[in-house]
Amino acid sequence: MKDLILVLNCGSSSVKFAVLNPYTKKKYLYGIVERLFLSETYITWKHLGMQYKKIIGLNITHEYALNFILDQVLLEHKDVLKNLIGIGHRVVHGGVKIKKTILINDNVIRCIEDAVSFAPLHNPANLIGIKTVIKKYPRLSKKNVAVFDTSFYQNMPKSSFLYAIPYNFYKEYGIRRYGAHGTSHYYVARKVAVILNKNFNTLNIITCHLGNGASVSAIRNGICVDTSMGLTPLEGLVMGTRSGDIDPSIIFFMHKKLKISIDDIEVILTKKSGLLGLSGISSDFRYFEKNYFLKKEAKRSVDIFCHRLSKYIAAYTTLMNNRLDAVIFTGGIGENVSLIREITLNKLSLLDFKINIELNLAAVNGKSGLITEYDSRPVFVILTDEELAIAEETISIINK
């Protein structure tokens, strides 16, 4: 056991962690703290085949969860701890200045802080992860690497990343589309290149990362040319609690007519909308899958989710230079909910997508592969592994 990288992914309501060797791809330890700030925060982790679960407590913060991971879980596995050579942090937004994976120093921390307004739910959590680890492991303080969700989108053309608002908002304030989830989109797209035995830089692919956050990316000749998330991870698809695309006038209406404050509108659009807002019940897709044919609010929410998703896929075919090599579904929903894939692809039959019902039903619970007929445009379910992708980027920077 050597050359281990600790990967930290501090989300808005969870902290994922993994310790792995990026060369052998072996994961020694991985887990997640879920339900931060809620009634029962718990941690689950796996170490060499053994599964552990503990309740951490009530109303747990990111700092507390991180200290629990570092002090209790990692200290319990001293073999893992002493072989750490670096730490990779998922950071959602690099802002205007940071364009690629980078070794963390004070200046990088300042840039991530500057980008907080572009990812208000995520960058603060990412910063807590970085600062906690640097303090805890002085031996590794110069071996922390930030891997940005936004890096994959740096080569998008202006026609994709500019909003049709006065140009100076872009020039002076950096208001443009930055995208998110780039690490995942890039990872699954390269996996399909391996499956197809083709050079990634020759492939045209549409990737759908569907988790609590959800986004679609259009990749042409290995370069991302458009994506559904925007200045912040709020734009685009219907998500767990985020609205995705809306008419901006809704905000004026809420504010001027309904007298809702701007801060409260932000909370409504980021934490109370999406599947949760539409159903009034849940943001967890297991609920929607179970109740699609039983409860009208579940059907309504899923239908809107699939309507928006199929619209994006269809729109992105226009960027593919008349050749689409693959569509990919990934993320917790993309990897597990065959219903979503079936409804969405059936809407796209005009574009020659023909789902294979058995293959689609089989591609759940960790099974991946092709889910379409032999004469269809190929659609794959691919398991994302953001932790591995981050560890690989981290080691490449540490080795430089």
Residues contributing to the site for ligand ADP (CB under 6 A):
11, 211-213, 240, 284-286, 289, 331-333, 336-337
Backbone phi, psi, residue 145, to 5°:
-125, 135
Tokens found for residue 341 = 């894939």
**90: part of which helix (H) or strand (E)?**
strand 84-91
| Smallest gap from residue 286 Cβ to ligand ADP (A) | 4
Catalytic positions: 149
Say whether 89 counts as a known binding-site residue: no
Say whether 332 counts as a known binding-site residue: yes
Instruction: Please give the single-letter amino acid code of residue 44.
Output: T
Instruction: Pick the closer one to ligand ADP by CB: 148 or 204.
Output: 148
Instruction: Pick the closer one to ligand ADP by CB: 275 or 397.
Output: 275
Instruction: Pick the closer one to ligand ADP by CB: 226 or 335.
Output: 335
| Smallest gap from residue 323 Cβ to ligand ADP (A) | 29
The set of long-range contacts for 313-321, using a CB threshold of 8 Å and a minimum separation of 24, is 313/206, 313/208, 313/216, 313/344, 313/348, 314/348, 314/351, 316/206, 316/216, 316/218, 316/226, 317/206, 317/351, 319/218, 319/220, 319/225, 319/226, 320/204, 320/206, 320/218, 320/220, 321/204, 321/220
Tokens found for residue 156 = 């998008």
Rounded (5°) CA angle 3-393-82 = 25
Say whether 210 counts as a known binding-site residue: yes
| Smallest gap from residue 228 Cβ to ligand ADP (A) | 14
| Smallest gap from residue 289 Cβ to ligand ADP (A) | 5
* Residue number of the CB atom closest to ligand ADP: 332
| Smallest gap from residue 339 Cβ to ligand ADP (A) | 9
Instruction: Pick the closer one to ligand ADP by CB: 220 or 308.
Output: 308
Say whether 211 counts as a known binding-site residue: yes
Instruction: Pick the closer one to ligand ADP by CB: 129 or 331.
Output: 331
Query: Rounded to whole angstroms, how far apart are CA atoms 84 and 99?
Result: 26
- Cα 297 to Cα 124, 276, 282, 294, 337, distances in angstroms: 33, 10, 10, 9, 18
Say whether 231 counts as a known binding-site residue: no
Say whether 380 counts as a known binding-site residue: no
Query: Rounded to whole angstroms, how far apart are CA atoms 204 and 304?
Result: 27
* Residue ranges at the known binding site: 9, 16, 90, 209-213, 284-286, 332-336, 386
* Residue ranges at the known binding site for substrate: 90
